[in-house]
Structure 1
Amino acid sequence: MTVTDVPETSGTTTFDSLNPATGEVVSTHPVHGPDEVRAAVARAREAAAFWSSLSFAQRAERLRAWGGVITRRLPQLCEVVHAEMGKPHADAQLEIVLAIDHITWAAKNAAKVLGPRRVSPGLLMANHAATVEYAPLGVVGVIGPWNYPVFTPMGSIAYALAAGNTVVFKPSEHSPGVGTWLADTFAQVVPEAPVLQVVTGFGPTGEALCRAGVDKIAFTGSAKTGTHVMRACSDTLTPVIIEGGGKDALLVDADADIAAAADAAVWGGMSNAGQTCIGVERVYVHERVYDAFLAEVTKRAQAVRAGADRGAKIGPITMPSQLDVIRRHVEDALARGGRAVVGGADAVGERFVQPTVLVDVPEDSVAVTEETFGPTLTIAKVPDMDEAVRRTNATSYGLGATVFSRSRGLELARRIRSGMASVNSVISFAAVPSLPFGGIGQSGFGRIHGPDGLKEFTAAKAIARKRFSIPLNLTTFSRPAAADKAMATLATLLYGSGGKLPRRSRR
């Protein structure tokens, strides 16, 4: 990443987006400062009046049109993703198609999830009609990552737009061209106002967005950066959604389909060069099938190669500083008694990391405790699934998880401390638009996707409307003593038996 001053007298600073596989300049973008970010938010605030005035159906029509534009220009966007962050075109296409599916779901379901609905007023307020609806917040700031520069931020952008908000999007400095492309194509279907805008730059630009008066921030990135985002937002009590990192585990039970589990482990751990927050980093295998599973993983991992050519299955490490993290994790695992059955310390190159599978790694090694974010797996043998669950949960992270078991999959998935889980498949929860996406612990809080994701970008509005008068009017200073007596009698009838324990429970 290089930063330069624009020759003009404006003094504007720019930076280059670099191809991580070659180091070549892909595009040049401005570094937006606080004044420019505030101006973008002000424009978004004005645009919010137009966008929120549209009906759900009208917004859905625009969002579907945007999805159509992205679909028709799919190869072009794939090339931008490939050039900026290095993943193969096929992987870029996968994340973009999933993002289009989420746009479509949000457009279709926003009215049903967020529109006015009647709720029961209860017996005490039976003379009222009770209604709840969800109003857009106004302007939402989205700070996106580089590893899935379309799919991940779209989980916030599309849902915020469908809910009636305008959006100011700050893409990663490693993928600014993707963000600009998305905003430009959206402007083609919504030319009336700057409903979706992009600001580019580094950390200070993101901090400026947090302080620019937006109504909510949706952030995806590391837990450490998430604390900085929360700190910047705290000054103005701006609410945040944090999607942090993970150290996701895959559990393989004795009755699992070994070939399918091994395929899932290798794809879940190696795809996108391991640069996936919900990717597989740890594997716990029942001792009865450990040898067969390890042999299958070894065979499959050896067939995966990192490179820049079309025959390569995975691309480069996008962020150069991550190479040192991956190297440190592998070297620590080996120094502490671990063995590399595929790859090893020499697998970490200057731009690419070849797949690495580690066994016999101590549980307190950094390769097990810290997020590696590279194409590596640690595989451990366990005596039973109780031990697998215990080790899985022995982390401060809690994003996703995977379980392979024919008979106990759902049970084990529920016991894992995570926001999401897949059974007999890997990362499938992210591809289901109606499921919420998010974690717990150091993996963050709040949800995108699904009904929960739509509601994250709204404020619930409760309305109680009196339909007729009743003798028992409790909200007046002129109520008689008889009304208080009647209220006590009614409460006793309704709730008086609620505190009684069943006879067998009285001890």
Structure 2
Amino acid sequence: MSDQGSANGAAVGVLEPDAPSFVSYDPAGGGEVATFPQMTAERVRAVVDEARQAAAWWSALTWAEREQRLRKWAGVITRGHEELCELVHRENGKPRDDAFLEVFLAIEHIGWAAGHARKVLRPRRVGTGLLMANHAASLEYQPLGVVGVIGPWNYPVFTPIGSIAYALAAGNAVVFKPSEYTTAIGEWIVDAFAQADPDAPHQVLRLVTGTGPTGAALCESGVDKIAFTGSARTGRKVMAACAPSLTPVLMECGGKDAMIVAADADLGQAADAALWGAMSNAGQTCVGIERVYVVDTVKDEFVAELSAQIQKLALKPGDGPGAAYGPMTMPSQVDVVRRHIDDALAKGATAVVGGAGSVRAPYVEPTVLLDVPEESSAVREETFGPTITVKGVKDVEEAVTLANATAYGLGSSVYGRRGAMTVARRLRSGMTSVNAVIAFAGVPGLPFGGVGESGFGRIHGADGLREFTRPKAITRRRWSTPFEPTTFARNPKTMTILKKYAMARYGRKK
């Protein structure tokens, strides 16, 4: 942003000479993007303490006042989208148009959270039942206080905003630690919020920067909840750091998403969707398609369609305007992709597109692996690269069994006509798209999250708003009765009346 530096001093702190620091790099060319302070635990705690003061002010605002400020934030991001997309291209590596899709979705989620928070979270009356008829009951959702958000590098705008916007809309302050690979993007997002309300007495959205130790420090800083997105391995470390203080956590930990292609599917559309789900963002998508199970009767036609579309579209990675996708953002992920391809081929798979020679760091060419054994790492582990496995099955029933035979359970896809919705309901995943891929992420009103190794808790939608609150139940006695059951001065007739009532309502044999 043009005046980004003014907010940077307040959000991060000036980088002093000889202070610990780290650098974020351009994954395509390796050039330096920016240098940031490696924040200590003491500094992180200080930021959280400052955020707690901000939370008191922010939670006292009306729903309308918070909505207005959030919409202004969305406006700053929208007007600055070209600058932000260029930064995403440079620091994350994805093409500029894909960066805009990510930014656009993030803006939509800010607007939804801002516009629906009051309706979802406002106090409401609750029926009391006959036993407590002389009481009034109400339920309200109170903000937690300060929420810590640990963001990923693969979708450095959309994913963290899926937690940040909903936590802010619910009345919390937020301390955001972006990935060390995309810290400049995180800083831009925080500065945009500051620009949206320059006269605000407190910074409600704060930034902390650093590598793993800074994330651990945020977990141990006294925040009221941690929202984490990343690998299951790192997620376990986050949970361990939060355990001593019983700090609640929201975990979004990746997936090994499957697509099922039925015999009556539109194979052209299914192939197009599989390629987008598998290859876009260089395959670095937690809800991307990594496995395809296609009914045997249409398997050959589907594979031919995949190969033809890759050739027709000339899908190639790169840094220029004609590239379909960019480099691997995290250098170490290249080795993971290479290992999975090599393991699949060694176990008898066939590379119908690409193969072992597709891995040329920092890029990976599109790779389609046919008949990969189910015990291979390319099927069992998250690859997070532009590869896809395709396996033929005798019927949809077998496809469902294989799709569910994983520790992960984030997203999934079903292509078919008759019975596709029934298949979707049977898949063990938090989200499923029918005759599409990843469509659920574009619907702000739907919750986003998984099961098993994919984590727990939800962002987005009404569930995402409630995720950053604590339910508060309140009862109020409206009048007294001569038959109060919870008193030592209880009328002897009270229990007789209650027993007769219970028998009359529930005790009769049918």
TM-score (norm 2): 0.95
Match of 1:220 among 218, 224, 229: 229
Alignment of 1:325-344 (within 5 A): 325-344=336-355
The equivalent of 1:429 in structure 2 is: 440
The equivalent of 1:315 in structure 2 is: 326
Q: Once superposed, what is the RMSD of the aligned Cα atoms?
A: 1.3
The equivalent of 2:464 in structure 1 is: 453
Does the alignment pair 1:485 with 2:496? yes
The equivalent of 1:472 in structure 2 is: 483
Match of 2:273 among 257, 264, 272: 264
Determine helix, strand or coil for the equivalent of 1:129. strand
Sort the Cα spacing of 1:349 and 1:292 in 2 relative to 1 into closer, same or farther, 3 A. same
- Check the 8 A contact 2:429/2:451 in 1, yes or no: yes
CA offset at residue 9 of structure 1?
Answer: 7.0
Determine helix, strand or coil for the equivalent of 1:35. helix
Does the alignment pair 1:282 with 2:291? yes
Determine helix, strand or coil for the equivalent of 2:507. helix
Sort the Cα spacing of 1:328 and 1:65 in 2 relative to 1 into closer, same or farther, 3 A. same
Q: Counterparts of 2:175 and 2:15 in 1: how far apart (Å)?
A: 26
The equivalent of 1:175 in structure 2 is: 182
Q: Counterparts of 2:15 and 2:82 in 1: how far apart (Å)?
A: 35
Q: Counterparts of 2:168 and 2:68 in 1: how far apart (Å)?
A: 12
Alignment of 1:121-160 (within 5 A): 121-160=128-167
The equivalent of 1:244 in structure 2 is: 253
The equivalent of 1:299 in structure 2 is: 308
Structure 1 window deviating more from structure 2 (482-491 vs 356-365): it is: 482-491
Does the alignment pair 1:463 with 2:474? yes
Determine helix, strand or coil for the equivalent of 1:235. helix
Amino acid at match of 1:243: E
Alignment of 1:56-67 (within 5 A): 56-67=63-74
- Check the 8 A contact 2:175/2:206 in 1, yes or no: yes
CA offset at residue 128 of structure 1?
Answer: 1.5
Amino acid at match of 1:360: D
Unaligned runs of 5+ in 2: 1-12
Sort the Cα spacing of 1:235 and 1:258 in 2 relative to 1 into closer, same or farther, 3 A. same
TM-score (norm 1): 0.96
Does the alignment pair 1:200 with 2:209? yes
Equivalenced residue count is 494
CA offset at residue 53 of structure 1?
Answer: 0.2
Determine helix, strand or coil for the equivalent of 2:237. helix
Q: Report percent identity of matched pairs.
A: 60
CA offset at residue 490 of structure 1?
Answer: 1.6
Amino acid at match of 1:88: P
CA offset at residue 350 of structure 1?
Answer: 1.7
Match of 1:33 among 34, 40, 43: 40
- Check the 8 A contact 2:148/2:219 in 1, yes or no: yes
Amino acid at match of 1:494: R
Sort the Cα spacing of 1:113 and 1:8 in 2 relative to 1 into closer, same or farther, 3 A. closer
CA offset at residue 356 of structure 1?
Answer: 0.3
Q: Counterparts of 1:75 and 1:304 in 2: how far apart (Å)?
A: 25
CA offset at residue 57 of structure 1?
Answer: 1.1
Amino acid at match of 2:207: V
Q: Counterparts of 1:301 and 1:174 in 2: how far apart (Å)?
A: 30
CA offset at residue 468 of structure 1?
Answer: 2.1
CA offset at residue 428 of structure 1?
Answer: 0.4
Amino acid at match of 2:137: A
Match of 1:401 among 396, 405, 412: 412
Match of 2:454 among 429, 439, 443: 443
The equivalent of 2:4 in structure 1 is: none
Determine helix, strand or coil for the equivalent of 1:110. helix
- Check the 8 A contact 2:52/2:173 in 1, yes or no: yes
Q: Counterparts of 1:31 and 1:178 in 2: how far apart (Å)?
A: 16
CA offset at residue 7 of structure 1?
Answer: 12
Q: Counterparts of 2:78 and 2:361 in 1: how far apart (Å)?
A: 35
- Check the 8 A contact 2:174/2:205 in 1, yes or no: yes
Q: Counterparts of 2:15 and 2:397 in 1: how far apart (Å)?
A: 65
CA offset at residue 73 of structure 1?
Answer: 0.6
The equivalent of 1:3 in structure 2 is: none
Q: Counterparts of 1:279 and 1:217 in 2: how far apart (Å)?
A: 24
Sort the Cα spacing of 1:123 and 1:150 in 2 relative to 1 into closer, same or farther, 3 A. same
Determine helix, strand or coil for the equivalent of 2:289. coil
